[in-house]
Amino acid sequence: MIKVDRPRDSTPPDLILKGRDELRKHLTLEPKKRVFKEYSSEPVRKKLTELFGRKCMFCESLLAGTQSGDVEHYRPKGKVVVYPKTTAVAAHVIPGYFWLGAKWPNLLLACSDCNRPRTQDDFDGNARVIGKANFFPLADETKRAIGTWRVRQEEPLLLNPCIDDPAEHLVFLEDGRVQARLIDGVPSAKGEASIYYLGLARAELLQMRARHGRMVRAAIRHTISALKEGRDPGADLEDLEAFLMPKEPYVAFSRMLIYKYMRQHLAALGLSV
């Protein structure tokens, strides 16, 4: 996951007016009867793709050729499943952020594995239900918003790539694993929650990152070899530059590898990680 800029003037045409009309029609309906459609319109999906590329904003996997991707609500629109801090109390369901159903800042593009709950193998080989779905944990549940004006009081534990800098909360290991970054000696709560609820350490994703890492390391080795021999690194340097482009897959992982092995050459090569 990397930080992504969402320009203020990027709102899709008609989303504000159509979303407002849709919300007005739903205000008097029971929560289970509210059906939102404007958020997933073709103009919205197209704009998300233009801004973020055809990749999941959470795990950075490419969507092209495999799936169209889900228009994901950062704050769930229908309901929120709340897990208590103790297992002695069962999880409970509360109303979602229906008033944010068509709000542009609340919309992201995600892959089905990060977004939809299904049983997947986690990093430890154990199967569990993974997927953001209706989960939206807060640092302080007593500050849960029940209206527009209270949203700013919340402290979400899931990273939002358009607001947070994931690099401050996540750290990648060379084999593709991801861990919560230590902050003052304590694992980031946002990092831990995002890894768990989004499945950022699920087994198949680790395999994809590891495969990607082999390509990045190969370009690194060839580039360093050329530099030592006084040759132009040519296409290998171009490959490294491509791996760092924001719309490429697994950019956060690529940045870690390139910085680790090439930090002394970055300035001379004009690479920024």
Token pair belonging to 205: 């994703």
Q: Give per-residue pLDDT as tens, 70-83.
A: 899 999 998 898 87
Question: What is the number of structural domains in the chain?
Answer: 2
Could you tell me if 224 and 170 lie in one domain? Answer: no
Please report the pLDDT score of residue 124 as a whole number. 85
Could you tell me if 173 and 70 lie in one domain? Answer: yes
Could you tell me if 32 and 150 lie in one domain? Answer: yes
Give the least confident one: 29-38, 43-52, 90-99, 136-145: 29-38
Distance in angstroms (rounded) separating the CA atoms of residues 21 and 217: 52
Could you tell me if 158 and 257 lie in one domain? Answer: no
Give the least confident one: 1-5, 83-87, 106-110: 83-87
Q: Which residues pair with 130 in a beta bridge?
A: 118
Confirm whether 259 is domain-assigned: yes
Could you tell me if 172 and 143 lie in one domain? Answer: yes
Confirm whether 142 is domain-assigned: yes
- At residue 211 the predicted structure's pLDDT band, cuts being 50, 70 and 90, is very high
Q: Which of 201, 221, 239 is the last residue of a domain?
A: 201
Confirm whether 145 is domain-assigned: yes
Average pLDDT of the residues in 176-181: 94
Position 144 pLDDT exceeds 80: yes
What percentage of the chain carries pLDDT values higher than 90? 57
- At residue 221 the predicted structure's pLDDT band, cuts being 50, 70 and 90, is very high
Provide the CB-side half-sphere exposure for 224 (13 A, CA).
15
Could you tell me if 83 and 164 lie in one domain? Answer: yes
Please report the pLDDT score of residue 66 as a whole number. 65
Position 65 pLDDT exceeds 80: no
Provide the CB-side half-sphere exposure for 194 (13 A, CA).
29
Answer yes or no: are the C-beta atoms of 70 and 112 closer than 8 Å: yes
Position 91 pLDDT exceeds 80: no
Could you tell me if 216 and 153 lie in one domain? Answer: no
- At residue 252 the predicted structure's pLDDT band, cuts being 50, 70 and 90, is very high
Q: Which of 201, 218, 233 is the last residue of a domain?
A: 201
Please report the pLDDT score of residue 88 as a whole number. 52
- At residue 204 the predicted structure's pLDDT band, cuts being 50, 70 and 90, is very high
Token pair belonging to 245: 């482009």
Q: With helix as H, strand as E and coil as C, how does the chain read?
A: CCCCCCCHHHCCCCHHHHHHHHHHHHCCCCHHHCCCCHHHCHHHHHHHHHHHCCECCCCCCECCCCCCCEEEECCCCCEEEECCCCCCCCCEEEECCHHHCCCHHHEEEECHHHHCCEEEECCCCCEEEECCCCECCECCHHHCCCCHHHHHHCCECCCCCCCCCHHHCEEECCCCCEEECEECCEECHHHHHHHHHHCCCCHHHHHHHHHHHHHHHHHHHHHHHHHHCCCCCCHHHHHHHHHCCCCCCCHHHHHHHHHHHHCCCHHHHCCCC
Q: Which of 166, 201, 236 is the last residue of a domain?
A: 201
Average pLDDT of the residues in 203-226: 94
Please report the pLDDT score of residue 67 as a whole number. 67
Could you tell me if 164 and 191 lie in one domain? Answer: yes
**Residue range(s) defining the domain that contains residue 217:** 205-269
Q: Which amino acid is at 120?
A: Q
